[in-house]
Copies of this chain bind each other. A is one copy, B any other.
Amino acid sequence: MVEVSQMIDSDVFLAFSTYATIVVLKMLLLGPMTGYYRMTRKAFSNLEDTTIHGRNEEDKKKFLRTDPDVERVRRCHQNDLENIVPFVVIGLLYALSGPALSTALLHFRVFVGSRFLHTVAYLLPLPQPCRGASWIVGMLTTFSMGYQLLSTSLVL
Contact = CB atoms under 8 A, between A and B. Distances in A.
Nearest to A12: B155
B86 A27 contact: yes
Interface string A1-18: 101110111010011011
Interface residues of A, number: 59
A5 B4 CA distance: 6
Contacts of A128: 48-49, 51
A4 B3 CA distance: 10
Interface in A37-96: 45-46, 48-49, 51, 71-72, 75, 77, 81-83, 85-86, 88-90, 93, 96
26 contacts: A3-B5, A3-B9, A4-B4, A4-B7, A4-B8, A4-B9, A11-B155, A14-B155, A17-B93, A17-B155, A18-B149, A18-B150, A18-B154, A22-B150, A24-B86, A28-B82, A31-B82, A31-B83, A31-B135, A32-B139, A46-B75, A46-B131, A49-B128, A51-B128, A77-B82, A81-B81
Given A4-B7, A25-B143, A85-B85, 7 more contacts: A3-B9, A11-B155, A18-B155, A21-B146, A21-B149, A24-B85, A28-B139
